[in-house]
Amino acid sequence: MRKTGRTFLAATAVVLALTATGCASKGGDGSHASSSTGGTGGGSSAPDAQAAALDPAALLKLVGEKTSAAKSAKVEATTEMGASKTVMKGAISWENGLQGEVSGNVGGAMAESISQAGGDGSITARYLSDAMYINMGEGMAGQLGGAHWIKYGYADLAKLMGAAGDSLKNQLQNADPISSVRALIASGKVEKTGTETVGGVKSTKYEGDLAAADLAQAASKGLTQDQTDALQKQFTASGITTEHIEVWISTDNLLVKKVEAFDSKVGKVVSTALYTDYGSSVTTSAPSASDTVDFAEIMKSAQAGS
């Protein structure tokens, strides 16, 4: 496979990782609050009485605990990164790191690259505890010796991509939907900015800006040191100085929607995710070995041939 093809496959991995995690990293102690987690994320008709009395930061902490406790959900995620746009749908769980499967389409510059390689823009990603698997359709299989799936082992990401790969590994192995909630708490500047109906769910919107300089005090604003360290690593690896964050919270204190926007080393990134059906059953397994190629092996073969 040509160098441009290898670069394209590496870029695809980054996009799919960001799409799945929403730039998320759980970090911290992973503590879960006991709560009712079923339904669409907005089933109750009135907010929890305790939550109604809390200030925005304290409420978001409660939301983080309840969403984390739900352990799984259906998700629709859109990632715009530079001139590429990826739209994916599926179901994920985050009880033991990111697991699940999402599928959809790629548009823009990356779609052009996929087309040149023989693909039609469709893409499926599976996430397991130790690796991410990507399938870009029958056309791409012709470039992979007939195999349909590319395996990106998390242990190999740092070796292949340096600090950015190490950051992605951390995000994928510790992902949950609520890093945005934690980030808003860390900013110390979160504001309630209105109410909206999102996907049929009555929701309250909160937003704020998290600057890299704010992270030094994040541990004193309700985050654990591990959570603060994870955010600092993400900012450093991605070249982020300020991130704008918006979240929509249902009346039963679950995350319904989030938007994260920031400038990074790869250009402007806007990540949007919608969550429904909290507590959904999520099962996934690795594709058959005979239908899989390892990206690390692709890189080794390329280096041996150069």
Angstrom distance (rounded) from CA 171 to CA 168: 5
Report yes or no on 303 lying in a domain. Answer: no
pLDDT higher than threshold 50 for residue 297: yes
Number of domains in the chain: 1
Q: What CATH number is associated with residue 124?
A: 2.50.20.20
Whole-model pTM: value is 0.80
**Mean model confidence pLDDT for the chain:** 78
Q: Look at residue 219 in the predicted model and tell me its pLDDT.
A: 61
In the chain, % of residues over pLDDT 70 = 75
In a domain, 41, yes or no: yes
Ranked by mean pLDDT, the top range of 15-29, 58-72, 291-305 is 58-72
Residue 103: burial class (beta carbons within 10 Å; 0-12, 13-18, 19+): middle
158: buried, middle or exposed (CB in 10 Å: 19+, 13-18, 0-12)? middle
In a domain, 161, yes or no: yes
Indicate whether 65 belongs to any domain: yes
User: What CA–CA distance (Å, rounded) separates 251 from 230?
Assistant: 29
The confidence band for 8, taking pLDDT boundaries of 50, 70 and 90, is low
Specify the pLDDT at position 254.
Answer: 94
Count of alpha carbons within 13 Å of 125, Cβ hemisphere only? 29
- Could you tell me the residue range of the domain that residue 52 belongs to? 3-298
Q: Is residue 306 part of a domain?
A: no
The answer to the question of residue 145 being in a domain is yes
Average pLDDT over residues 181-198: 88
The answer on pLDDT for 172 being more than 90 is: no
279: left (phi over 0), alpha (psi -120 to 50) or beta: left
pLDDT single digits (tens) 25-72:
443 333 333 333 344 444 443 445 455 557 888 888 899 899 889 999
Range ranked top by mean pLDDT from 146-150, 174-178, 261-265: 146-150
- Residue 230, pLDDT > 90, answer no
**Tens digit of each residue's pLDDT (9 = 90 or more) over 119-165:** 778 889 999 988 989 998 888 888 888 999 999 898 887 777 776 67
Q: Classify each residue of 135-150 as buried b or exposed e, where b means 16 or more C-beta atoms within 10 Å of its C-beta.
A: bbbeebbebbeebbbb
Taking 50 as the threshold, does the pLDDT of residue 278 lie above it? Answer: yes
DSSP 286: P
The reply to whether 304 falls in a domain is: no
pLDDT at 205: 95
Report, as an integer, the average pLDDT of 272-290. 94
Within-domain flag for 305: no
